Amino acid sequence: MSINIALAGNPNSGKTTVFNEITGSKQHVGNWPGVTVDKKEGTYKKDRDVKVLDLPGTYSLSPYSAEEIIARDFIVNEKPDVVINIVDGTSIERNLYLTLQIIETQIPLVIAINMMDEVEAKGDTIDFNKLSEILGVLVVPIVARKAKGLNHLMEAAIETARNKKKPNNVQVFDKNIDSALLKVEQLLEDKSPDERRWKAIKLIEGDEVITNGLSDDTIKQVNIIVKEAEKEADGDTEAKIADLRYKYISKILKGIVKKSEKGHVSNKSDKLDKILTNRFLALPIFAMIMYLLFAATFSENFLLIKGLPSPGIWLAGLVEEGWGALTGGIESILSNAGASDWILSLVIDGVMEGIGAVAGFLPLVLVLFLLLSFLEDSGYMARVAFVMDRLFRHLGLSGKSFIPLLMGFGCSVPALMASRTLESDKDRKITMMITPFMSCGAKLPIYAMFAATLFAGSNKTIIVFSIYMLGLVIAIISALLLNKFAFKGETSNFIMELPQYRIPTGKSILIHGWDKVKGFAIKAGTIIFVSTVLIWLLSNFNFTGMVDMEDSFLASIGNAIKFIFAPLGFADWRASVGVVTGWIAKENIVATFGQLFGGIGDEATIEAISSGAQALPEIRDVFTQVSAYSYMAFNLLCMPCFAAVGAMKREMVSWKWTLKAISFQMVVAYIVALIINTLGNLIF
């Protein structure tokens, strides 16, 4: 007989560690339908008939966040055979608040009290038997990080599931609320008394989600009952119920938790926090950690040592080299076998280039996410939000938006994926829409080419720097506008736990990093691969067969659409083609210009132009200083490369939103370039 287990618990309660330990490598990460919340499923490593599902971490089962709605809908509608509630023993009072709400559903339940090592280190004791007796559920002490107590926990869970043992109907509420509950229950038509009871509690709490499906008449009567109860309680029932739950917890814990007589001793975590969020040290330390995060992923001179690649760049180099060797091998095999030009080009420039485009990002994603999960699991990520909140609040964003935006200067792909750490859907979407405005490393060669050719002299640096600043300013303006118009009314709050600092386990960091790499390769990979091959096709063919880029479909498209760019100052088919090839990778614009303007095919020359060491004088036929600046701004702001679009699609989990984001970026790019060109021509 198969058994379905759901893990529920507060964020930071060690739920994911428990999940990783009991499923081992047998797990699958997906998405809950329609939302950006991970859905983790797996099987118990010691019994494949036992399925385990990791519910999103929540503090409550209220109807206000996607996570809470998912967790409660799953418990109430899918009815797992047993719920394992992971409780952080070091803040048991707050953790039991969720427990009480799970008990209200009367689903078979087992409680795992985690972090018992820390509880013991403090000198506190918890009477598990007494807690078990009062709540009518098995209670198992565990230390998830050390995999202690997990066998017991699973035995208890399987036993509870087999016996279908329900928790006690604990007396949480007072007379007033109880009588209101009874009255509401009588109005409901659900067959099971447990369901009627649960629904009644939610209705009295003023839960609007639960009223779906009730007749207007019932809702009216419920409202009358609630009004009466509120008169009696001298306050609203939602607050009253939350209050009664906490009162009940305080009452039962008196006989269960014995605090150490030493009182509150400040532990290592408290001491660490005194330094990390100290008034004066917090910002310098924060800046240093952020620098390390960025440098370890993207820097070519890591720790300011010239020529020392960061782990991210080093790995990316290895992948690139390996891929180059493989491509070269395939190329020589194919030409030896006498393959025709177009097959050779399809395989080398289309397929291999397409897969290579995906593979090239994997090391960056891996390194960044190993580091991010270290920050997340250690508890520092919550402090990032704490330290940066004030700065970002005015943009309507979370302090955690800082990380994706900073990473955006390296590469939009891992940066967009880093937006996953933001809790609010609104913050996440806005952050993703503006992250590509941070000028990434691949856009620098475009600026270098124009600077060397059209802005020679001392103002070169100023021109490039001003483009970076332009991206930043446009990002800020965009965030303000999106908040005001596209997401109006969605307020975010900042009521957040600052968890204890803990040393993360290597296992959970590795699992998280691997999940991200796999997710990107599969979900974003397809989009990147298909679009790269498509652009290859367009730039190498016309109706007669394989041709040079000058005669390709893409050139015709460039000619057809160049009029759109006339108001921006670059109505030239080659400039239009550059925009399109830039979507494969922004630095491609240089190679495209080299070929189309100068007939340059060799890589060394292209590289010299990319680094600004050599000019490409032929572009002066088309570009003035003003229109070059307009072109740089347009390519900075318009749709990012396909890899970034793939990452965006993966994180937004919605084509609709991805298209909205792209459209937004295109419109912003057009308007900004238009303003630059118009004003520029007036002034210069």
Partner 1 sequence: MTLEDLKPGQEGTVISVGEKGPARRRIMDMGVTPGATIKVIKVAPLGDPIEVNIRGYELSLRKEEAKQIQVQ
Residue span 282-321 as binding mask against partner 1, x where in contact by CB under 8 A, dash where not: xx--------------------------------------
Residues in region 356-385 near partner 1 by CB under 8 A: 382
| Shortest Å distance, C-beta 380 to partner 1 | 14
Q: Is 502 in the site for partner 1 (CB under 8 A)?
A: no
Residue 648 CB, shortest distance to partner 1, in Å, is 28
Assess 277 for contact with partner 1 (CB under 8 A).
yes
> Apex CA 340: angle with CA 338 and CA 341, to 5°?
125
Rank residues 236 and 551 by Cβ distance to partner 1 and give the closer one.
Answer: 236
For partner 1, the closer of residues 388 and 517 by Cβ is 388
**Interface with partner 1 includes 275 (CB under 8 A)?**
no
Concatenated DSSP letters of 66-134: HHHHHHHHIIIII--SEEEEEEEGGGHHHHHHHHHHHHHTT--EEEEEE-HHHHHHHT-EE-HHHHHHH
Could you please report the per-residue DSSP string of 131-193?
Answer: HHHHHTSEEEE-BGGGTBSHHHHHHHHHHHHHHTPPPP----S-HHHHHHHHHHHHH---SSH
Question: Quick one: 90 or 588, whose CB is closer to partner 1?
Answer: 90
Q: Does 174 bind partner 1 (CB under 8 A)?
A: no
Report the nearest approach of partner 1 to the CB of residue 499 (Å): 8
3-state secondary structure of 27: strand
Does residue number 127 form part of the binding site for partner 1 (CB under 8 A)?
Answer: no
Q: Contacts with partner 1 in 79-108 (CB under 8 A)? A: 90-94, 97
Both tokens assigned to 483: 């908040």
Phi, psi of 60 (to 5 degrees): -160, 175
487 contacts partner 1 (rule: CB under 8 A): no
Binders of partner 1 among residues 575 to 614 (CB under 8 A) are: none
SS3 488: coil
Estimate the crossing angle of helix 506-519 against helix 15-23, to 10 degrees. Answer: 80
- State the pairing for strand pair 109-114/82-88: parallel
Residue 246 within binding range of partner 1, rule CB under 8 A: yes
Q: Would you count residue 260 as binding partner 1 (CB under 8 A)?
A: no
Question: What does the per-residue mask of binding to partner 1 show for 386-425, with x meaning CB under 8 A?
Answer: xxxxxx-x--------------------------------
Q: Is 495 in the site for partner 1 (CB under 8 A)?
A: yes
Which segment (46-54, 187-195, 401-409, 496-504) binds partner 1 by CB under 8 A? 496-504
Which of positions 27-66 make contact with partner 1 (CB under 8 A)? 59-60, 62, 64
Least distance between partner 1 and beta carbon 55 (Å): 16
Rounded to a whole number of angstroms, the distance between the first and last alpha carbons of the chain is 80
Q: Which is nearer to partner 1, 241 or 454 (CB)?
A: 241
User: CA–CA separation, 268 vs 272, rounded Å?
Assistant: 6
Least Cβ distance, residue 227 to partner 1 (angstroms): 14
Judged by CB under 8 A, the residue of 219, 239, 456, 671 near partner 1 is 239
Task: Answer for the pair 255, 130: CB distance below 8 angstroms, yes or no.
Answer: yes
Handedness of CA 416, 40, 400, 398 (dihedral sign): positive
Q: Which of residues 616-635 bind partner 1 (CB under 8 A)?
A: none
Cα–Cα distance measured from residue 102 to residue 245, given in angstroms and rounded to the nearest whole number:
12
CB 37 within 8 A of CB 24: no
Measured N-to-C along each axis, helices 175-187 and 216-233 cross at an angle, to the nearest 10 degrees, of: 170
Contact positions vs partner 1 (CB under 8 A): 59-60, 62, 64, 90-94, 97, 206, 236, 238-239, 242-243, 246-247, 273, 277-280, 282-283, 382, 386-391, 393, 491, 493-499
